[in-house]
Structure 1
Amino acid sequence: MHPSIAKRITVLDGLRARAHQATAEFYQKPGVQPPPLAPLIIVCPSGNNTFSLINRATGVVVAERFGHNNATTHARELEAKEAQFNVKQFGKFLSRWTLRVGITMTVLAFFSTQM
């Protein structure tokens, strides 16, 4: 790679990192609310009053509905269902809880042998 291009890439990486840091610092200030997250499901027209519900992360068509109101209602229902406590979240919760209990027992065992 040409040295000038490599230098430009490193400068842009540094600027990108600084922009992320500045954004995080800005939203830590009191009274500043972060913007809402982008929707998980996108409603796109397919033709003949048919709308496709597309998962934004994967690009897969989740469902198709007739009428815009039906499509947006179903998209909101899918997003609400996604926000519920699911198996992955339960697994993370359980593993963190187990790790904390294990660390606590290890610390207590260490201090009990010291006395």
Structure 2
Amino acid sequence: MHISFAKRCAILEGLRQRTRQATAEFYQKPGVQPPPLAPLIIVRPSGNNTFSLINRATGMVIAERFGHNNATAHARELEAKEAPFNVKQFGRFLSSWTLRFGITLTVFAFFGTHL
């Protein structure tokens, strides 16, 4: 690569990093809400009032529906099912398993002392 192109690429990469950093700092301010994420499923017409539901990440067709309202309703249902696993859900999962493990140990300890 030519020296001038390499310099230009290095400068642009530095500007991109600074832009990402400034954006992250902006959304950390109180009262500033980040923009909503892009939809996971795209509804695309495929002809004769038929719509394809396409997974955005893989580009594969998930389902086909007749009518735009049916297709968008089904896409909303699928996106609701694919909710991300967040910290609150992880806490509930961990506490339930901790409780189950504690009960199991208590039962073993109880029966172990009576034998």
TM-score, normalized by the shorter chain, greater than 0.5 = yes
Report how many aligned residue pairs link the two structures. 89
> 1:31: which partner in 2?
31
What residue ranges of structure 2 are gaps of 5+ in the alignment?
A: 95-115
Residue identity matched to 2:77: E
> 1:97: which partner in 2?
none
C-alpha separation in 2, matches of 1:84 and 1:21: 24
Q: Which has the larger radius of gyration?
A: 2
Residue identity matched to 1:26: F
Secondary structure of 2:43's match?
strand
> 1:107: which partner in 2?
none
> 1:52: which partner in 2?
52
Closer, same or farther in 2 for the Cα pair 1:84/1:13, shift >3 Å?
Answer: closer
C-alpha separation in 2, matches of 1:60 and 1:15: 34
1:84 Cα offset (Å) = 6.3
Closer, same or farther in 2 for the Cα pair 1:82/1:19, shift >3 Å?
Answer: same
Using the size of structure 2 for normalisation, the TM-score is 0.72
Secondary structure of 2:63's match?
strand
C-alpha separation in 2, matches of 1:56 and 1:44: 11
- Say yes or no: does 1:82 pair with 2:72: no
Using the size of structure 1 for normalisation, the TM-score is 0.72
Identical columns (%) = 84
- Say yes or no: does 1:22 pair with 2:15: no
Give the superposed CA RMSD: 1.8
Provide Cα deviations, 1:77-102, integer angstroms capped at 9, x if missing partner.
Answer: 110111165xxx97xx87xxxxxxxx
Instruction: Return structure 1 stretches of 4+ with deviation > 4 angstroms.
Output: none
Secondary structure of 1:8's match?
helix
Provide Cα deviations, 1:55-110, integer angstroms capped at 9, x if missing partner.
Answer: 0011111110000010001001110111165xxx97xx87xxxxxxxxxxxxxxxx
Closer, same or farther in 2 for the Cα pair 1:84/1:23, shift >3 Å?
Answer: closer
C-alpha separation in 2, matches of 1:84 and 1:73: 19
